Amino acid sequence: MRTSVPCPNCRKSITLEDFEDFTSPFTMKCPHCRAKLKETRVTPFLLIGLVFMVPLFIYLTELLITLLSGVLPAVKSVPSIIVFVGLLYPLYALYERVNGLIMFNKGNLQLKKARKHHRFNRK
C-alpha cells in the first residue's frame, strides 16, 4: 500500500490525507503547486460502480422509510433525501473512502490539459 504519490508537475508527494481532501475525483489539485490533476486508470471503473451504487442507495433509503414508518408514522412524510443524509450518510462516506483508497493505490495521476479560451478578434 502506497503512502504517497508524486505530483506529475512539481514531483512533491501527495499523501492519502491530501487525496481525501479532494472534493471529487474531477476537481483534484496538487496541494503544493495547485496544478489541476486527473486520474486516468481507475475513474472509468469507479463511475461504472456508481451506476450500481445509486440504485442501491435509493432502494436502501426507501426500505428504511418503510421500516421506520411502522414505528414512526411521521417518517412517511419526510423527504427521502433527508432520510438518506440522516441515516445512510455513514454508508455513503465509507463508499467514498473506498473509492479514494482505490484511486490512490491503483490510479495514475496526470496533469489536466488547460483549456484554451478563444477570443474573437474585433477589427
Q: What is the pLDDT along the chain (123 residues), one digit of tens a residue?
A: 677 888 888 999 888 888 777 777 667 888 999 888 887 777 677 778 878 888 988 999 999 999 999 999 988 898 988 988 888 888 888 877 787 787 778 777 778 776 655 555 554
The pLDDT assigned to 117 comes to 56
**If we measure between CA atoms, which residue out of 91, 88, 42, 89 comes closest to residue 67?**
88
What is the model's pTM? 0.60
| C-alpha cell belonging to residue 74 | 411521521
The pLDDT assigned to 33 comes to 92
The pLDDT assigned to 63 comes to 93
The pLDDT assigned to 89 comes to 84
The pLDDT assigned to 118 comes to 54
**If we measure between CA atoms, which residue out of 91, 113, 107 comes closest to residue 16?**
107
The pLDDT assigned to 25 comes to 65
The pLDDT assigned to 67 comes to 92
User: Rg of the chain over CA atoms, in angstroms?
Assistant: 20
Q: By the 8 A CB rule, do 39 and 26 touch?
A: no
